[in-house]
Amino acid sequence: MQYIFIVNSNIHKKRKKALERAVADLPKDLRNKSKIVYTEHSNHAEELAVTYSEKYGSECIIFACGGDGTVHEIANALAFRNSPMAVIPLGTGNDFARTIYPKEIYKKPLSVLERLERPMIKPIDLLRIDSYDLMGNHLPFWSRYSLNIASMGLDTQVQAKAKSIVAKHPKSLFFRNNAYSFAAISCLLNGWRYAMDYSIELENGEMIEKKGVPYSLVSISNGRFYGGGFCPAPQAHIDDGVLDVCIVDHMSRSKAFSRLLQYKKGKHIGKKGFTIYRSTSGIFSSLDSNLQMQGNYDGEDFFGHRIRYEVVPKAIQLAFFT
């Protein structure tokens, strides 16, 4: 087995150096099978993953070494291929890793290297997002697979603010680790208002259709965590062929803090103001012809007047280390 470590060059220098040392300290036979490659431009992680997958096929494990953006790129590269991917969470959010790793590994991500020879490889689901313009034309640039969670509304607004905070303090781990919390406070102070139509197919085939729905945010979850530890789908499983959809009603700023705290901790299920669906596909549509819906998948932005989602069962091979 070959081990390919694709490293986001934008991760903190200390984490990069620590990974290099950990690989250098591997036993000789494993070290000789290991290769570290660094991204050089946007979408390079995806390009590298395709290159090594075509070279080694099922005889390699391709590691996403970075945050959820790196995971997103490599998942799109390896969808429907037989090369398994793995995750070493070294970025800012690292939310998908919260779902797949126990705390002891999540907090010490380089301990994965101590387990290289004991992977458990199995297929898991992907979430597919397709965006369309006002005339119904498909928008391929904003249509992708997501390994973790796609969302629209207030949380995407928060994410955009968080990105700007990190960009202003690129060398500060403090700001990287707390960017989402600072961004949430800022967005709550400024307010929001969104509305949509939607149709959702439940896991039993039943269709739910609603018009003119005011909302604060929508999350479509394959994994359990996003946004720096928010837990919209505490009961989600990445291999059950179903997505957990959460629609948060429009709320006043006075109620926002308590409701978002419930949402963050995964304690909102069954509570007033939250609608939960177990779903296989669905469509969300903007009510404003002049305003696209803004969302993100695994932290990467997308836009569209109409957003369609669906689960794609067992679409990618994932290597687990426990």
Q: How does pLDDT run across 175-194, given as a tens digit for each residue?
A: 777 777 777 777 776 767 78
Q: What proportion of the chain, given as a percentage, has pLDDT over 70?
A: 99
The pLDDT score that the predictor gives to residue 213 is: 95
| Average pLDDT estimate for 63-70 | 95
What does DSSP say about strands 207-221 and 149-153: parallel, antiparallel, or unpaired?
antiparallel
| Average pLDDT estimate for 88-96 | 91
CATH numbers and ranges of domains, the chain: 2-118 (3.40.50.10330), 126-314 (2.60.200.40)
Answer whether residue 6 shows pLDDT above 90: yes
| Average pLDDT estimate for 239-265 | 89
Cα separation of 167 and 27, whole Å?
Answer: 38
The pLDDT score that the predictor gives to residue 113 is: 95
Q: What average pLDDT does the chain have? A: 92
- Give pairs for 19-27: CB < 8 Å, separation 24+: 19/65, 19/88, 19/90, 19/110, 22/110, 22/113, 23/113, 26/113, 26/116
What are the tens digits of pLDDT across the range 255-281?
A: 777 888 899 899 999 999 999 999 999
Rounded to two decimals, the pTM is: 0.90
- Per-residue pLDDT band at 207 (split at 50, 70, 90): very high
The pLDDT score that the predictor gives to residue 256 is: 76
The runs of H, that is alpha helices, within the chain are: 13-24, 28-31, 44-56, 68-78, 95-100, 103-106, 154-168, 173-190, 253-265
